[in-house]
Amino acid sequence: MPGGIAIFDFDGDGLQDLFVPNGGDLPSGLKTLAAHSDKLFRNRGNMRFEDVTAKSGLAGKHYAFAGSVADFDSDGRPDLLVSHLHGVTLYRNKGSGFFEDVTQQAGIDNHNRWSVGAAWFDYDIDGDPDLYITNYVRWDAKTEPECRTAGRIDFCHPRYYQPQPGALFRNDGKGTFTDVSDTSGIAKHAGKGMGAIVADFDGDKRPDVFVTNDKMPAFLFHNRGDGTFDETGFDTGIAVPADGKTVSGMGADAQDIDGDGRPDLIYTALRDETFPIYRGTAQGFEDASAATRMGPNSRPFAGWGVVFADLDNDGRLDIAAATSDALSGKVDPSRAGPVVWFRNAGEGRFDPAQVLAAPAMHRGLVAADLDKDGCLDLVVTALDATPKILRNPCPNPKGPRAPRQWLGSTAVGYASSVWEGPSSSSSPSPR
Amino acid sequence: MGRTVLIIFAFAALIVAQDLSSQGAEAMRAGRFAEAERIYRQLIQQDPKDPGWHGNLGLSLHSQNRFREATEALERSLKLKPSPGLAVVLGIDYLKLNEPCKAIAPLERTDRLAALADAFYGCKRYPEAARLYTKLGSTREAARSWWQARDYQQARPLYEKLVPKYQADPAFAWEFGDTLLRMEGAQAAIPWLERAVSLVEGRAALGKAYAETGRFAEAIPHLEASIKLDPDLLLPLSRAYKATGRAAEADRALLEYRKRQSGQN
């Protein structure tokens, strides 16, 4: 499974269900086999899940990377946007477990660009969710170069591909959208977009968008409140880590980890690049990789999906990440990595990684309380493997607990086919 | 009658070949490699499928330091018939030609592990090099290979073992300091990086380490001296200028950094 997992209660029964995007044939980028189907799993309670894809209409047609959820038509039912190799598909939740492809009628056209993720947010504060789409590089199978590392075939460095801008669609409130990528200023900034996270980073009560780029400086789109955005990555100190080395930015998350009321931010990158972590300050961002110990702690890992989540209910946000190296053509066991947990030790520091799941080609990761026991569980995806649920044993849901063994993973019961595209939680990756 | 003539010709050719072969061997023994080369070329013309003539031609070229031509002859010979002895020469010649990746396949067929380890290292297959150096007891090379592989967890204990022997060596101090910088952070690394300032790489790492610990004034001269080696240091340099009240220089450094970044993408 490539992996930009979406967790949402699509049927309104109070339990979190799972949408898991899936790959397809290459180079066509189309789903040509039943095994390529994207999947919707209904949570039946007690950690039992039922595959309801066939009925839902969410099987998909394109090599998919991520799902993003919002009730765009304000009918009380969460809808789903799927990012894929040829753009995006918007599905309206019609109720009773049915979804309908409304991409065209909603006016969403990503111009066949390779999208790996999206973020819904109300940038114009008019009460309905607007849509930011993260686009990766321009890719054409016909011009795909053959790349080698140490004489052996390997993935191609992002520098071999042209960047492209993200897209912004304003929700018109009638089930339709207007493409405001140009007028908002978003289209001026071509990147190699991966993860997108929305938060009010500067405390002006307007949501901003942070976008990781693959081996390029990250973007922070500051919402000016007049329908336009400034790119302020360098001005705020978050474009690149403090040593000036650009990294392969992948998944990202933003939460207030130090309780100062400002969102802090982490994103994953490849082995030896570390997972840069920043503290939000009144003047912008400060690279906190050294102070938090996350620099040394994360250096041995290549990360994809990442979340800030209080996994041990001690009131402090920990960090969990899906890891494995970038892909070189086919799934290679020597590049597998574990799911890791960096426990927040307090006083602004994180403990070294503890392994929550054995190595696989992990990509996507999300945290949610799937069994409603008061503790956050994790859902992870890996290439060439079924998605897994890591159930939090949760001995004391109301208070702090010592680190403990997590229960064995539960495969979300179906056989996957060959998956070659990776991804991360907020946004998947093509490598 | 015709058959008898053919046999006589074949017999005569064999005698000539044997004669030439002896002359070639004699020339090789006497160190007359150009003469040996000429003879083996002649023999190859007579019998292009004999691996021995190609192999000997390769050896005569190798002895004249004509490694490119030697590798071509040796490759032809090894294609016709495997020979561990010739594979060693072929591997060594590729190493001499600075083509370590090509040296690996022939050397893997021999027992020359040190040369193979060098080939892995040169080909940037560092983990394989490190394992082989470890097997050979070459701890210094193994440590450097793990460091190059960016596997600092493997490198660190080896460096620690080597401290008594190499503590005065700036290259060692840089590698060990860099390992500590990545695994432990700047405080642990600075004492070692301070011993590596004679190397521009050491200065670069020391500048970064000082900046990481907020010692911006101390970082500046080292960062300035290392910009040519690593232009990315313009960013921490800009930060250091800013922190020490040199706002105009900070802006210039940041502008230059951004210009370089946009040029790369």
- pLDDT > 60? residue A416: no
Cβ–Cβ of A272/B254 closer than 8 Å? Answer: no
Cβ–Cβ of B235/A159 closer than 8 Å? Answer: no
Euclidean distance between CA atoms A184 and A190, whole angstroms: 14
| CB contacts, 8 Å: A296 with chain B | 182-185
Whole-number pLDDT of residue A421: 27
Euclidean distance between CA atoms B69 and B57, whole angstroms: 9
The residue of A216, A231, A243, A350 whose CB has the most chain B CBs within 10 angstroms, and thus the best one to mutate to test that interface, is: A243
Length of chain B: 265
Query: What percentage of residues in chain A have a pLDDT greater than 90?
Result: 79
Euclidean distance between CA atoms B61 and A262, whole angstroms: 71
What would the two tokens of residue A80 be? 């789903």
- Burial classification of residue B15, based on how many CB atoms lie within 10 Å of its CB (0-12 exposed, 13-18 middle, 19 or more buried): exposed
Q: Among B184, B122, B120, B149, which residue's Cα sits nearest to residue A272?
A: B149
Model pLDDT for residues B159-179, shown as the tens digit of each residue:
999 999 999 999 999 999 999
Whole-number pLDDT of residue A26: 86
Euclidean distance between CA atoms B184 and B155, whole angstroms: 13
Cβ–Cβ of B153/A300 closer than 8 Å? Answer: yes
Model pLDDT for residues B74-123, shown as the tens digit of each residue:
999 999 999 999 999 999 999 999 999 999 999 999 999 999 999 999 99
* From A150, A192, A300, residue closest to B101, measured CB to CB: A150
Q: Is A159 on the interface with B (CB under 8 A)?
A: yes
- Residue B204 — φ and ψ, nearest 5°? -60, -50
Q: A410 - beta bridge partners? A: A389
Whole-number pLDDT of residue A425: 31
Model pLDDT for residues A310-361, shown as the tens digit of each residue:
999 999 999 999 999 887 656 677 789 999 999 999 999 999 999 999 999 9
Under 8 Å between Cβ of A7 and A94: no
- Chains A–B, number of C-beta pairs less than 8 Å apart: 60
Cβ–Cβ of A240/B239 closer than 8 Å? Answer: no
Q: Among A285, A367, A287, A281, which residue's Cα sits nearest to residue A320?
A: A367
What would the two tokens of residue A202 be? 């500067």
| CB contacts, 8 Å: B233 with chain A | 243-244
Indicate left, alpha or beta for A112 from its phi (over 0: left) and psi (-120 to 50: alpha).
left
Model pLDDT for residues A211-265, shown as the tens digit of each residue:
999 999 999 999 999 999 999 999 999 999 999 999 999 999 999 999 999 999 9
* From A150, A246, A296, residue closest to B125, measured CB to CB: A150
* From B153, B185, B234, residue closest to A244, measured CB to CB: B234
- pLDDT > 70? residue A288: yes
Whole-number pLDDT of residue A331: 61
What would the two tokens of residue B165 be? 């022997």
**A9 Cα to chain B: minimum distance (Å):** 41
Buried b (16+ CB within 10 A) or exposed e, B216-252: bebbbebbbbbbeebebbbbbbbbbbbbeebeebbee
Under 8 Å between Cβ of B93 and B70: yes
Return the residue of B nearest to A270 by Cα: B150
Euclidean distance between CA atoms A318 and B144, whole angstroms: 34
| CB contacts, 8 Å: B103 with chain A | none
| CB contacts, 8 Å: B211 with chain A | 242
Under 8 Å between Cβ of A89 and A60: yes
Cβ neighbours of residue B130 closer than 8 Å, sequence gap 6 or more: B142, B145, B146, B149, B151, B154
Query: What percentage of residues in chain A have a pLDDT greater than 70?
Result: 89
Cβ–Cβ of A242/B234 closer than 8 Å? Answer: no
Cβ–Cβ of A151/B101 closer than 8 Å? Answer: yes
| CB contacts, 8 Å: A244 with chain B | 232-236, 257
Cβ–Cβ of A244/B123 closer than 8 Å? Answer: no
Provide ipTM, 2 decimals: 0.80
* From A244, A290, A296, residue closest to B235, measured CB to CB: A244
* From B124, B151, B236, residue closest to A150, measured CB to CB: B124
Using CA atoms, how far residue A378 sits from A62, A184, A408, B36, B101, in Å, is: 26, 36, 12, 72, 43
Return the residue of A nearest to B179 by Cα: A296
Q: Is A153 on the interface with B (CB under 8 A)?
A: no
Whole-number pLDDT of residue A2: 58
Cβ–Cβ of A299/B182 closer than 8 Å? Answer: yes
What would the two tokens of residue B89 be? 């020469």
Cβ–Cβ of B182/A244 closer than 8 Å? Answer: no
Whole-number pLDDT of residue B238: 97
pTM: 0.84
Q: Is A188 on the interface with B (CB under 8 A)?
A: no
Model pLDDT for residues B197-226, shown as the tens digit of each residue:
999 999 999 999 999 999 999 999 999 999
Q: A230 - beta bridge partners? A: A222
The residue of B99, B235, B242 whose CB has the most chain A CBs within 10 angstroms, and thus the best one to mutate to test that interface, is: B235
| CB contacts, 8 Å: B186 with chain A | 290
- Burial classification of residue B215, based on how many CB atoms lie within 10 Å of its CB (0-12 exposed, 13-18 middle, 19 or more buried): middle
Euclidean distance between CA atoms B181 and B159, whole angstroms: 13
Long-range contact set of residues B139-142: C-beta below 8 Å, sequence gap at least 24: B140/B166, B140/B172, B141/B117
| CB contacts, 8 Å: B128 with chain A | none
What would the two tokens of residue B258 be? 């951004």
Under 8 Å between Cβ of A82 and A67: yes
Cβ–Cβ of A242/B236 closer than 8 Å? Answer: yes
In chain A, residues 261-300 whose CB comes closer than 8 Å to chain B: 271-272, 290, 293, 295-296, 299-300
Euclidean distance between CA atoms B219 and A237, whole angstroms: 19
- pLDDT > 50? residue A427: no
- Residue A67 — φ and ψ, nearest 5°? -115, 145
Q: Among B206, B185, B207, which residue's Cα sits nearest to residue B196?
A: B206
Residue in this structure with the two tokens 């900034």, named with its chain if needed:
A189
Q: Rounded to 5, what percent of chain A is helix, strand, coil? A: 5, 40, 55
Model pLDDT for residues B48-68, shown as the tens digit of each residue:
999 999 999 999 999 999 999
Euclidean distance between CA atoms A37 and A85, whole angstroms: 14
Cβ–Cβ of B124/A149 closer than 8 Å? Answer: yes
